Chain A
Amino acid sequence: AQTVTQSQPEMSVQEAETVTLSCTYDTSESDYYLFWYKQPPSRQMILVIRQEAYKQQNATENRFSVNFQKAAKSFSLKISDSQLGDAAMYFCAYREDRDDKIIFGKGTRLHILP
């Protein structure tokens, strides 16, 4: 069965600094998608970034970028120039190409220090 592991329950970063959240996953599939979702205190899940496994190039969305290492099954999220509004719970997630089900990691709570 596919699993998603986030080994950092909590992290803190100084405002304007850069932080990297770790995620590893386990799958025997070759075609899949990986996601990072943000859940702020409002509890609304927000898609931060998405990576297709067949793409070698790392996805980037403004201050957010990923380091996708397919062979190592690693998918870390880098947040540059951290802002107070980035404080939230971040979930790494996986979905097979042929399935709709999203499997979430346990999350990393990110604190932004002013």
Chain B
Amino acid sequence: GAVVSQHPSWVICKSGTSVKIECRSLDFQATTMFWYRQFPKQSLMLMATSNEGSKATYEQGVEKDKFLINHASLTLSTLTVTSAHPEDSSFYICSARQGPNIQYFGAGTRLSVL
């Protein structure tokens, strides 16, 4: 099946710094990618929909200036957590849409903010 690569798998950063997470579709082009956040032992919550060549669509309650999304090519979307704080520590997962009915998920990124 199609592969979605997410990098890094784990990042530790100091409070106040920014962190960039990459999501790549390795063997297909994805005009639409999605970013989710998963708190420990909880479900995935959609943060935003990333569209190639246009602005991302954020879900209600998600700060767009805090979580910057760039989808500059058909195979890459990035999520930048700006001025990260300990409450931003979480597991972030991306997915990429292949065709109308299938989404493939990355392996996730664990962010720990000290």
CA gap between A33 and B95 in the complex, in Å: 17
Q: Using an 8 Å CB-CB cutoff, how does the interface string of B67-111 with A read, 1 for contact, 0 for none?
A: 000000000000000000000000101010100011101011000
Taking CB atoms, residues of chain B closer than 8 Å to A30 are none
- Contact among A43, A104, A106, A107 with B108 in the assembled complex (CB-CB below 8 Å): A43
Taking CB atoms, residues of chain B closer than 8 Å to A46 are 105
Q: Is the CB of B107 within 8 A of A105?
A: no
Q: Is the CB of B42 within 8 A of A106?
A: yes
Q: Using an 8 Å CB-CB cutoff, how does the interface string of A33-64 with B read, 1 for contact, 0 for none?
A: 10001000011111100100000000000000
- Contact among A42, A44, A100 with B34 in the assembled complex (CB-CB below 8 Å): A100
Report the nearest A residue to B45, measured CB to CB.
Answer: A104
Interface residues on chain A, size class: 10 to 19
Q: Is the CB of A100 within 8 A of B97?
A: yes
Q: Is the CB of B49 within 8 A of A101?
A: yes
Q: Is the CB of B44 within 8 A of A104?
A: yes
Taking CB atoms, residues of chain B closer than 8 Å to A11 are none
- B2-42, CB < 8 A from A: 32, 34, 38, 42
User: Could you list some 19 contacts between A and B, CB below 8 A?
Assistant: A43-B38, A43-B93, A43-B108, A44-B105, A45-B93, A47-B102, A91-B43, A91-B44, A100-B32, A100-B103, A101-B49, A102-B34, A102-B95, A102-B103, A104-B43, A104-B44, A106-B42, A106-B43, A107-B43
User: Which residues of A does B touch, CB under 8 Å?
Assistant: 33, 37, 42-47, 50, 91, 100-107
User: Which residues of B does A touch, CB under 8 Å?
Assistant: 32, 34, 38, 42-46, 49, 91, 93, 95, 97, 101-103, 105, 107-108
